[in-house]
Chain A
Amino acid sequence: MSSIKVELKQCEIDKIKEICQSFNNEPGELINVLHKAQGHFGYLPAEVQEEIALELKISVAKVYGVVTFYSFFTMLPKGLHPISICTGTACYVRGAEKVLDEFKRILNIQVGDTTKDGRFSLSCLRCVGACGLAPVVMIGEKVYGRVSPDGVKDILNEYS
């Protein structure tokens, strides 16, 4: 649920129209349209969903239903540095939860949220496939292995 109010500029509305057009405004292409739209805007605020609903001629409720069903789609802008903590089996067993708690403590946000200054957002992943390096944390495309709760501060400092 988003509480951010966005005023779409005309060029942004045109971009959404363009994305929908590239799929022939087919209602069945909703997921692809949302994917592309999120790729462009970084997230899917309510206003973007409304515009997509108008263009594809489906109800806003249905668009919202698809957005909330898939964890990939987000209504909150991701941070400049998106942090993903692997909570797959190996990482979990090797203390991923404590690492997560430390990130939450230092950044003062919950999982799924973004820091107020927009620099970091926090999410959990299932198994990135680097179990030998457990516990694993990814920030953007960079992979950190054998992360300990004590090491979280230093990792974050790399991004200041």
Chain B
Amino acid sequence: MTLDPRSGSGRGAPSAPPALRVAGLRRTYGPIVALDGVELEVHVGEMLTLLGPSGCGKTTLLRLVAGLEPPDEGTVEIAGRRVAGPGASVPPERRNVGMVFQDHALFPHLTVADNVAYGIRRDPDRSVRVAELLELVSLHDAGSRMPHELSGGMQQRVAIARALAPRPDVILLDEPFSNLDAALRTQLRGDLREILRAAGATAVLVTHDQDEALTLGDRMGVMVRGRIEQIDVPEVIYSEPATPFVATFVGTANLVHANCEGGIGYTRFGPVRLINRPTPTGRASVVIRPEHLELTEEPDGPAAGDTWRIVRRRFAGSEILLEIEAGDGLRVWCEAGPQVRRLRIGDTVSVRLRDVATVAFAPGRGGASRKLDAAHGRPTGGLALSTEDDAEVVPAPSDVPGP
């Protein structure tokens, strides 16, 4: 990527207010804290994706921005105008946001064209606009059909066209692909990006699918337990995760114990350069991605400190990951490489650390994520950085490491 979306690419002049600014947003449902102080800025023309496990508050955030529910605390500003917070409570119909609902929520009693025209009934040129939008979403000949006659993918495109029609300041998409099957999802993902680009729309898309978040977002945020843990361009999220949760939720990560000093982490695999600032000193956990490890078959290989035994293999679309176990019981995931065909479970191998730069977390950082994991029913030891084990491994919920 040549441009840096962090500086606000797209149509917006540098001095223009952000399309959306959210500050200190909090929302509770009885004892459940759905949003716990969310901070967010979306620039004009930008597409921001929010990734998080279910129940992390993503949908609630969108509903509060749209005005469908009031916040307990915090403010929402759309195009520089305060719409929620102290002294402001603008109802949804006067916020100029578009929303694409998870179930599309098309009006079942209206034709496709009438659905798209719904929000612009006072526009004298609405028929031109509707035709233009139907063209944009490649449904120009479906205008007179009823929603229940359409496939899921077509319904979704109608929902997008309908939300775009009033030229909203920001368009909110709530898991737009979750009701579609896998093959359709990949195709529509590309279409959606084209459509939103062509419309010059500012968009926030929430999803629990990391592929979606990584491929669609100019920037992406990772949400957990009502907070945004990190927000940045996708490649930075992957290569420089801010917290252990982000490291393990986006892609597969081994968290390996190390002693850190002077920007170098000394792991059992060898030293790695640390790029996060401030760099921790002393004991810390270093993020080692599977592709950081190179498999060597000879147990007496150059960097071989340990002998590893293959215990599990996982096919992940374009590559194969192997889980290997050291003599002391530590397990890590690594990429199999070209010799994979010859390897069997139970074989002995050694690994070598490639020359990589990564991040390390001081021991205290794991606390929040450990509690989270307990809440999700995974073994609590998953990120227990303070135990005496040399490293702990947590495969990501979705099986594929990022690009």
Same complex origin of A and B = no
Interface, chain A (partner B; CB < 8 A) = none
Interface, chain B (partner A; CB < 8 A) = none
